[in-house]
Amino acid sequence: QVHLRESGPGLVKPSETLSLTCTVSGGSVNSGAYYWSWVRQAPGKGLLWVGYISYTGYTSYNPSFRGRVIISIDTSNNQFSLRLPSMTVADSAVYYCARISRDSANYYKNYLDSWGQGTLVTVSS
């Protein structure tokens, strides 16, 4: 069974860049059957999809982030990462990494089948 674990700083100063890494075990990120995704949840709020990456490096991001998001993948270490520059208080949230089970024939069939436990990121000076 695949296991995902987020790592990174719990506290970031305003205007700084958030860098988070998701380490995958029990499965390989180097697979065409999946995308690798980030989802965040502000305190007391709902889930917000941030973006995803494929094993080839193909990415898709939520337009609401206005180009601020960068997701990368490291197949040699079985990890993928999130970079979010220019952090503000509004970016304070629990950040989850998750695996997307993808249907190569029908994009609309994709779903998030495994999630990390999440990591709380607080933006404060």
In this structure, how many other beta carbons lie within 10 angstroms of the beta carbon of residue 24?
22
Binding residues among 52-81 for other proteins as defined by CB under 8 A: 52, 60, 62-64
**Best CA proximity match to 30, nearest among 104, 80, 71:** 80
User: Which C-beta is closer to other proteins: that of 37 or that of 79?
Assistant: 37
Among positions 30, 56, 101, 122, the unique one binding other proteins when judged by CB under 8 A = 101
Shortest Å distance, C-beta 109 to other proteins: 5
Taking only Cα atoms into account, the Rg of the chain, rounded to an integer number of angstroms, comes to: 14
Choices 9-17, 22-30, 66-74, 111-119; region in contact with other proteins by CB under 8 A: 111-119
Choices 9-17, 18-26, 80-88, 104-112; region in contact with other proteins by CB under 8 A: 104-112
Choices 13-21, 26-34, 77-85, 101-109; region in contact with other proteins by CB under 8 A: 101-109
DSSP per-residue codes, 53-110: E-TT--EEE-GGGTT--EEEEETTTTEEEEEE-S--GGG-EEEEEEEEE--SS-GGG-
